[in-house]
Chain A
Amino acid sequence: MPDTVQASNAEVFENLRLELRRGCLVVAVLAALRTEQYGYTLRKALSENRLEIDEGTLYPLLRRLESQGLLVSEWREEDKRKKRFYKLSPEGKQILKQLHTEWQLMDSSIKEILKEQSHGTHRALSTGR
Chain B
Amino acid sequence: MELIERYLQAVKFWLPKKQKQDIIAELSEDLHSQIEDKESKLGRTLNESEVEAILKQRGRPVLVANRFLPQEHLIGPVLFPIYTFVLKIVALCYLVPWVLVWIGLMTYSPNYRVQHGGWLAAAGAAWGSLWTIALSAMGAVTVVFAVLEQVQAKSHFLENWNPRKLPPVRNANQIKRASSIAEIVGNFALIGWVSYLSSPLIVNRPEIQILLAPGWRYFFWGYMCVALANSGLSVANLMHPFWTVRRAALRLLTDCIGSALFCLLMKANIVAAITAPKLDAARSLEITNSANLWMDKAFSPFALLVGVGIMAGGLYRIYRVKKTPISWIQGVASVVR
Measuring CB to CB, which residues of chain A are less than 8 angstroms from any residue of chain B?
A: 38-40, 43, 54-57, 59-60, 63, 75, 81-84
Contacts and interface: CB of A to CB of B under 8 A. Distances in A.
Given A55-B58, A56-B58, A59-B30, A84 B25 contact: yes
A118 B254 CA distance: 64
B67 A81 contact: no
B30 A39 contact: yes
Interface string B4-47: 00000000000000010001011101101110010000000000
Interface in B195-239: none
Contacts of B67: 56-57, 59-60
Contact of A40 (B23, B29, B68): B29
Nearest to B26: A84
Contacts of A81: 29, 32
Contact of B27 (A59, A75, A83): A59
B245 interface: no
Contacts of A59: 23, 26-27, 30, 67-68
A55 B29 contact: no
A39 B29 contact: yes
Given A56-B64, A60-B68, A63-B19, 7 more contacts: A40-B33, A40-B34, A56-B67, A59-B26, A59-B30, A59-B67, A63-B68
B29 A38 contact: yes
A90 to B, nearest CB: 23
B16 to A, nearest CB: 11
A40 B64 contact: no
B29 A83 contact: yes
Contacts, number: 41
B59 interface: yes
28 contacts: A38-B29, A39-B26, A39-B29, A39-B33, A40-B30, A40-B33, A40-B34, A40-B37, A43-B30, A54-B58, A55-B27, A55-B58, A56-B63, A56-B64, A56-B67, A59-B23, A59-B26, A59-B27, A59-B30, A59-B67, A59-B68, A60-B68, A63-B23, A63-B68, A75-B25, A82-B25, A84-B26, A84-B29
Contacts of A82: 25, 29
A38 B30 CA distance: 9
B contact face: mostly helix, strand, loop, or mixed: helix
Interface of B: 19, 23, 25-27, 29-30, 32-34, 37, 58-59, 63-64, 67-68
Nearest to B22: A84
Nearest to B34: A40
A123 B9 CA distance: 63
A62 to B, nearest CB: 9
Contacts of B25: 75, 82, 84
A38 B25 CA distance: 12
Nearest to A39: B30
A38 B37 CA distance: 15
Contacts of A57: 67
A60 B66 CA distance: 10
A83 B63 CA distance: 23
Contacts of A54: 58
A41 to B, nearest CB: 8
Nearest to B29: A83
A55 B68 CA distance: 11
Contacts of A75: 25
Nearest to A58: B30
A39 B23 CA distance: 12
A110 to B, nearest CB: 29
Contacts of B26: 39, 59, 84
Contacts of A38: 29
Contacts of A60: 67-68
A81 B58 CA distance: 21
B86 to A, nearest CB: 32
A72 to B, nearest CB: 15
A84 B24 CA distance: 12
